[in-house]
Chains A and B, each alone.
Chain A
């Protein structure tokens, strides 16, 4: 078929090209993870336990979970944990990125230090934080006691609220570099000429930030926040190493609860349902976010 209209030829060619560029990635993903992905979803709708045959039971697991006190606690914890963590990581990461972009000397050392929390394998850094929070040897307590700021030891993991704060703190420590470095890379992509042009037009740094930096950063910010949210909601290692969900389930998150239900008590179907519970919500969030950013960029 021939398209006489030049514009529609460009469109179709673009579409063809787009599919050519994306197809390999999708193919590979479907090949490796397509079947396991479907199996995972199927598992959440069965009554599977380890080593026995399972029967399909639709949404029964999800309904059971919604009524379980333990699950409700974990869901609540997950939402609070993610909200507070991501917001604070963003509030710390953005200014940090701006500071990093100033290229203060020693540049490499500064960037290296900021990256440390992210690069140390979580198993090892979470273990270190265990000692930092230890009831007998806590490093924090040592500092605060010796500085005269407290009279009695603080039990970092000893009460539900303290434990929540402590775990969130580790997540923030670990995750802020993700924000900072990614935003910094985004800042580096913004052409300097834009700032030069604005300066000759008489703009000061604050105007530059609001009129140039923030708008140009929006795609990067959008994705960094989205990814961080997904990663934080799925964060497993920190609680697994430090608190195993205690005290009295105050630090249980959906992934750690899913692990406990599925693998440790053998209820594979229900464990899968726990892991996938907020999956539909996240899906909708992601889709909306994609639509919004697409629209913004159709100049």
Chain B
């Protein structure tokens, strides 16, 4: 009897705790979500309602319309831009990972002179603002004959992705307790084996997160695509949208917001599922 009573109190306490946690999370969710919610609503609203001063920005009262999405897909090359942006974000991310994982590990775990200097040097390349770097880079890209080709972005994006990934990954690698690695070394493992068999699997969340954020750096980039590519079929989302959907002071709000919705949901879904599937039960048993 008393046991059951105690059990119920504990349940209630943990329920309260759970409720408090959700409550704490709520303002963050609202803050993150409400502009997006407004974007979705606007993308489905008739323009008359949007410009009607009396209308509620968060609801649709005169009916849902898909005309903005149709305009986006039919009258602009948005889907092509989406495909382009996806390619120029994904391929360089893989390229960056290939170079950054070993380098990040070296900086995190191996002792050698000048490691601080080298990591600073790598980071320096990231410090150079793209609004300056783009000018000499565009000359370089032009000399390679890559102007107006996706290749121009595929080779230039790694220049900021690699420094970012190296340093981000090395910080995740450093989070792994050294005991794990010491024990592996004692067991006769080489550093490289340890990198692939132990460090990488444990730091999967870090690797996925670093690659994801690198991907987004490229996904979001504006100045390189604008400078290197002027052909509409090879533009990225940001560049294409600025050309076609903002003409002088006329904003195609509905289609712009439709573009925002379409260019974010697939990426988020992909990342969230990736995180979920690859990271199950990962820290359990790591020390064992």
Contacts and interface: CB of A to CB of B under 8 A. Distances in A.
Please say whether the chains A and B touch (CB closer than 8 A).
yes
Interface of A: 11, 14-15, 17-19, 21-22, 24-26, 28-29, 32-33, 35-37, 39-40, 43-44, 92, 95-96, 99, 102, 104, 107-108, 110-125, 127-129, 131-132, 136-137, 139, 142, 173, 176-178, 181-182, 184-186, 188-194, 216-217, 219-220, 222-224, 226-227, 230, 234, 236-237, 255, 258-259, 262-263, 268, 271-272, 275-276, 279, 282-283, 286-287, 290-291, 293-294, 297-299
- Majority DSSP secondary structure for residues of B touching A: helix
- Majority DSSP secondary structure for residues of A touching B: helix
Nearest 10 pairs of A and B residues by beta carbon: A36-B136, A21-B102, A39-B136, A124-B260, A219-B174, A185-B209, A21-B106, A223-B171, A185-B205, A25-B99
Nearest to B121: A26
Contacts of A190: 175, 283
A18 B133 contact: no
A299 B111 CA distance: 11
A182 B209 contact: yes
Interface of B: 18, 21-22, 24-25, 28-29, 31-33, 35-36, 38-39, 42, 51, 53, 56-58, 99-100, 102-103, 105-108, 110-113, 115-133, 135-137, 139-140, 155-156, 158-159, 162-164, 166-168, 170-172, 174-178, 191-192, 202-203, 205-206, 208-209, 212-213, 216, 219-220, 222-223, 237-238, 241-242, 246, 251, 253, 256-257, 259-260, 263-264, 267-269, 271-273, 275-276, 279, 282-284, 286-287
Given A182-B209, A258-B131, A272-B132, A18 B112 contact: yes
Contacts of B223: 236
Given A40-B128, A268-B135, A186 B111 contact: no
Contacts of B275: 111
A191 B175 CA distance: 10
Contacts of A223: 167-168, 170-171
A37 B110 contact: no
A120 B264 contact: yes
A17 B194 CA distance: 13
Contact of B131 (A110, A216, A255, A298): A255
Nearest to A284: B120
Contact of B25 (A19, A104, A194): A104
Given A124-B263, A125-B35, A182 B136 contact: no
Contact of B136 (A40, A120, A294): A40
Which of A127, A186, A283 neighbours the largest number of chain B CB atoms within 10 Å of its CB? Answer: A127
Given A37-B128, A189-B206, A223-B167, A21 B105 contact: yes
A120 B103 contact: no
Contacts of B156: 32-33
A44 B24 CA distance: 48
A54 to B, nearest CB: 12
Nearest to A189: B175
A298 B110 CA distance: 10
Nearest to B268: A112
B119 A127 contact: no
Contact of B279 (A33, A188, A299): A188
A290 B119 contact: yes
